[in-house]
Structure 1
């Protein structure tokens, strides 16, 4: 268990390093058609959801939720199991960040507010210009940070990271409530809606990115897809399908429970027939 947890932690750390390294890289300088510039001429507005707040609500938020659940629940998870749950969250989050940056940089899609940020005085300048378009040359007054950010539209990082962290929390909650399990008790509808609340938050963040003119709808939808799919894939590495009768248990805890039940059955059989256990071990003629 310790070795496996260490390997999972190293994988999450590698994804974090990759995501941070790609965050410092420069996006590709793409050719822009003049006839499409109207699509990139939206106002430059402030972010409704600041970038610094994304890891607060989408990473620390689920972390606090998991710790609180571990402490409040009548029976607590083993310490190594709780740690693996947190490591899985980090792996899903950092892997999503790395995938997002791997796509942003080579695509280099201009944001909807590209024209307003690149040419604040309205004078458009191109390199290698022809009758159809060219490579934009932004005004010297534009900072280096803005020059890079306005070429990172697809996919949306806010959307993908929000879906990764909050989506992971939703998958875990759906499993704990056994919303899709045939062995679930009454009230699964309430558990289903409650489990989806974090994912609704991720969708709301994606909507703000479009309304603030920082992303196109396709950017936000792609980001949500990356985050939800990555978090679900990591969740399924640790937990059985949501339709499993005991989907609230991880794979390791499920195997331990099945082994314990088998030993109890053998013990009860031996109590009913004292010679049953010895007869199984005697060599057959």
Structure 2
């Protein structure tokens, strides 16, 4: 490789280190939002005798989508910012925020693909369908018995039960926050105060309540919520570990980027300084 090409390659590597994560995050977010709007669910057959999908349709949810977005993203983001300000570390804030955004956007993308591919009816699906009085009440039927138009969002969304998007998204955001707080408070050191345990568990309790509310609103079956919770928490953990050491590590509260700086890597120092 010629000196000129080598210089260009090194410059490309530097730009990728600085902006590569942001580019991939933007791509994941765009895919999530586009598929969430355009992807249609699989039109699965169902039975009008199935009591598990015969619950009433509730127009008002306990946790609407808008409130979920605030609880699972801006709220954790503000707490991350508070820790960054308290520790006087912009790097801590920006790297932890990157992990939070990856966790929620990746969770949303995966759940959107799965729930539209599976096409499982929600517990209130028959109420959404509003079947014709002449519909057969034995055996399986399809959407032709519904008086609600297929073009209606209410009917389409009725086939997006598995897994629970609210639960997955809440655990992706609040679960990530719980891991972050546990690391910053050094919860897994030999002696941990009770208040640190409570603060760490609070986000998980809130995410669990959001999941339970989806069953109370007859939006999801129990197994939808359980799988959504495990999925969201697993994604949160993977994204968290890309930024921080394990929560039981002696340096659990320090992001990997800061550790590279502390190790005296001048190249890493310059790249990170450009990032923040």
- Structure 1 residues 83-110: Cα deviation after superposition (integer angstroms, max 9, x where no partner): 2221211111100000101100110000
Note if contact 1:177-1:188 (Cα within 8 Å) is conserved in structure 2: no
Note if contact 1:117-1:142 (Cα within 8 Å) is conserved in structure 2: no
Deviation at 1:258, TM superposition (A): 4.3
Alignment-derived partner of residue 204 in structure 1: 209
Deviation at 1:123, TM superposition (A): 2.6
Q: Cα–Cα, structure 1 residues 140 and 214, in superposed 2: closer, same or farther, change >3 Å?
A: closer
Counterparts of 1:158-177 in structure 2, within 5 Å, are 158-177=166-185
Alignment-derived partner of residue 9 in structure 1: 22
Alignment-derived partner of residue 33 in structure 2: 20
Indicate whether 1:107 and 2:115 are aligned: no
Deviation at 1:225, TM superposition (A): 0.9
Indicate whether 1:220 and 2:225 are aligned: yes
Note if contact 1:28-1:107 (Cα within 8 Å) is conserved in structure 2: yes
Note if contact 1:118-1:142 (Cα within 8 Å) is conserved in structure 2: no
Indicate whether 1:252 and 2:263 are aligned: no
Deviation at 1:136, TM superposition (A): 2.7
Report the Cα distance in structure 2 between the residues aligned to 1:101 and 1:193, rounded to whole angstroms. Answer: 32
Which of 76, 94, 97 matches 1:83? 94
Deviation at 1:230, TM superposition (A): 0.2
Indicate whether 1:38 and 2:51 are aligned: yes
Report the Cα distance in structure 1 between the residues aligned to 2:70 and 2:79, rounded to whole angstroms. Answer: 12
Report the Cα distance in structure 2 between the residues aligned to 1:5 and 1:166, rounded to whole angstroms. Answer: 27
Deviation at 1:21, TM superposition (A): 1.7
Indicate whether 1:153 and 2:161 are aligned: yes
Q: Cα–Cα, structure 1 residues 42 and 124, in superposed 2: closer, same or farther, change >3 Å?
A: farther
Which of 225, 231, 234 matches 1:229? 234
Indicate whether 1:195 and 2:212 are aligned: no
User: How many residue pairs get matched?
Assistant: 249
Off by >6 Å, runs of 4+ in structure 1: none
Report the Cα distance in structure 1 between the residues aligned to 2:149 and 2:258, rounded to whole angstroms. Answer: 59
TM-score, normalised via structure 2 length:
0.83
TM-score, normalised via structure 1 length:
0.81
Alignment-derived partner of residue 60 in structure 1: 74
What's the secondary structure of 1:249's corresponding residue? coil
What's the secondary structure of 2:73's corresponding residue? helix
Deviation at 1:61, TM superposition (A): 0.6
Report the Cα distance in structure 2 between the residues aligned to 1:252 and 1:49, rounded to whole angstroms. Answer: 36
Which of 113, 126, 135 matches 2:142? 135
Note if contact 2:63-2:210 (Cα within 8 Å) is conserved in structure 1: yes
Note if contact 1:206-1:220 (Cα within 8 Å) is conserved in structure 2: yes
Note if contact 2:244-2:252 (Cα within 8 Å) is conserved in structure 1: yes
Report the Cα distance in structure 1 between the residues aligned to 2:148 and 2:181, rounded to whole angstroms. Answer: 50
Deviation at 1:191, TM superposition (A): 1.1
Deviation at 1:199, TM superposition (A): 1.2
Q: In structure 1, list runs of 5 or more residues that go unmatched.
A: 261-285
Report the Cα distance in structure 2 between the residues aligned to 1:99 and 1:243, rounded to whole angstroms. Answer: 29
Indicate whether 1:95 and 2:95 are aligned: no
Q: Which structure: larger Rg?
A: 1
Deviation at 1:3, TM superposition (A): 3.9
Q: In structure 2, list runs of 5 or more residues that go unmatched.
A: 1-13, 266-276
Report the Cα distance in structure 2 between the residues aligned to 1:220 and 1:122, rounded to whole angstroms. Answer: 31
